[in-house]
Amino acid sequence: MKSKIIFTAIVMALAISNADAQTAIRSKNQRQRIKQGVRSGELTRAETVNLANGQREIRQDKREARADGVVTAAEKQEIKQDQRQQSRKIFRKKNNNRDRN
């Protein structure tokens, strides 16, 4: 019985850490996409600031979710939704025919 409880706890911890790793990878990819847009001139200064603020808000949401030691399924879902919206914003701003030049 004890071994089942321990095994379940380990599996749940791995699942949580895997989800956190996925969001970390997604955030890193989004930062790289923003940097690439700046280098190529696809993003104006205002667009870059707006996107950076969005990334900052996602990081703050992650910190708040982890603050109590338990990241609930609803918190995970909210973070994923925020990241999906941010990804769409990055795409739209990079492809809106505005540039720094």
pLDDT of residue 37: 94
Count: domains in the chain: 1
Query: pLDDT tier at 5 (50, 70, 90 boundaries)?
Result: confident
Q: Give the dihedral sign, CA 23/25/31/34.
A: negative
95 secondary structure, DSSP code = T
| Residue type (1 letter), 13 | A
- Domain extent at residue 30: 2-94
Give the predicted TM-score (pTM) of the model.
0.78
Residue 101 lies in a domain: no
